[in-house]
Amino acid sequence: MPAQSKVVPLEGEIDLHISPRVTTTLNAAVKAKPRNLVIDMGNVSYIDSSGLAVLIEAMQKVEKYGGKFALAGLQENVKPIFEIARLDQVFRIYPDVDSALSRE
């Protein structure tokens, strides 16, 4: 039976150098096919386009098997990166992990 929810915490600056590691982490989480996959962005201070691409790819994989993908706890300086790219309309974004998990 698939796991109900999985929270994956990310931290630091997610850029071209870190993105491959994040891809590996997210692929492992997606493989378990949790019904809800929540990415805890509370400790992410920066994300570039390669990091955004990794998140989009993971979201597509989760949606493909019928799961839900959410981001939680975006820092104030990271939010505009999502807004400029209009990704705030693509991702489900919650203020914190608890509120993301309560939206079963």
User: Which pLDDT value is given to residue 81?
Assistant: 95
Give percent above pLDDT 70 in the chain.
96
User: Which pLDDT value is given to residue 103?
Assistant: 73
Query: Among residues 71, 57, 93, 79, which one has the least CA distance to residue 10?
Result: 71
| Run of H or E including 73 | none
b/e string for 63-72 if b means 16 or more Cβ within 10 A? eeeebbbbbb
* Average pLDDT over every residue of 26-40: 97
Distance CA 88, CA 73 (A): 13
Domains present along the chain, CATH in parentheses: 7-23+34-95 (3.30.750.24)
Burial of 15 (C-beta count, 10 Å sphere; 0-12/13-18/19+): middle
More confident: 26 or 2: 26
Give percent above pLDDT 90 in the chain.
94
User: Which pLDDT value is given to residue 2?
Assistant: 53
Q: 47 forms bridges with which residues in the sheet?
A: 14
